[in-house]
């Protein structure tokens, strides 16, 4: 599974590197529907921290519906995400349906539910469970280029005795 994690990380990096080139063609990336993020996951359970204090985390999101008006200066997006966080051969791969709320001033929040595919520490058995994530973030631009964001999330997974629960910190880009 380590190879799968490395392949996923390489795909995320390649996408982040090549997709800005497509922005000049307009229609392919109108609206910043695609998001890529990379960062660190901090497991909350000691048995998971024995594997490593900090795990690698990465993810991709795709907005299926953008700009749902929820009132003045407030909108939301609906979409799907695929994430990976793990260390060594211990991991979780959640696939989520997400709601992203956008507040004035660049603040945003997210909530997602779905299914997670994991491998547990110590026992090494694989489990599938209900996965969820909630988080807050901030959107910003550096020099008027690709829109960036930072995000703090709490990720959870049922059926693994909270071994895949914890906080994640991400830096990402919208395309």
Of 119, 53, 50, 117, whose CA–CA distance to 83 is shortest? 117
Mean pLDDT by 10 residues, the chain (175 residues): 49 45 38 91 94 97 88 88 96 97 92 96 91 97 88 96 96 93
Residue 175's contacts (CB-CB under 8 Å, 6 or more residues apart) are 19, 20, 22, 23, 29, 32, 33, 34, 35, 36, 146
Single out the residue of 115, 105, 109, 107 nearest to residue 80, CA to CA: 115
User: CB of 165 within 8 A of CB of 45?
Assistant: yes
Q: Output the pLDDT for position 55.
A: 97
pLDDT at 2: 52
Phi first, then psi, for residue 162 (nearest 5°) are 65, 15
Beta bridge partner(s), residue 39 = 57, 170
Measured in degrees and rounded to the nearest 5, phi and psi for residue 127 equal -135, 150
Task: Give the pLDDT confidence of 90-133 residue by residue, as tens digits.
Answer: 999 999 999 999 998 899 999 999 999 999 988 889 999 999 99
Domain at 2-19+32-174, CATH from 1.10.1200, 3.40.50, 1.25.40, 2.40.160: 2.40.160
Q: Are 147 and 134 in contact (CB under 8 A)?
A: no
Tell me how crowded residue 46 is: count the other CB atoms within 10 A of its CB.
8
């Amino acid at each position: 599974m380590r190879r799968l994690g490395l392949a996923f990380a390489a795909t995320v990096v390649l996408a982040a590197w090549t997709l800005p080139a497509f922005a000049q063609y307009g229609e392919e990336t109108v609206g910043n529907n695609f998001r890529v993020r990379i960062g660190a996951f901090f497991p909350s359970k000691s048995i998971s921290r024995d594997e490593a204090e900090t795990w690698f985390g990465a993810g991709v999101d795709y907005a299926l519906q953008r700009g749902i008006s929820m009132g003045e200066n407030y909108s939301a997006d609906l979409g799907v995400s695929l994430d990976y966080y793990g260390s060594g051969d211990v991991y979780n791969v959640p696939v989520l349906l997400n709601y992203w709320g956008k507040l004035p001033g660049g603040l945003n929040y997210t909530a997602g539910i779905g299914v997670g595919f994991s491998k547990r520490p110590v026992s090494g058995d694989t489990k599938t469970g209900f996965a969820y994530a909630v988080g807050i973030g901030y959107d910003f631009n550096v020099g008027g280029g690709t829109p960036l964001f930072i995000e703090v999330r709490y990720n959870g997974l049922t059926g693994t005795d909270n071994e895949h629960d914890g906080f994640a910190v991400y830096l990402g880009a919208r395309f």
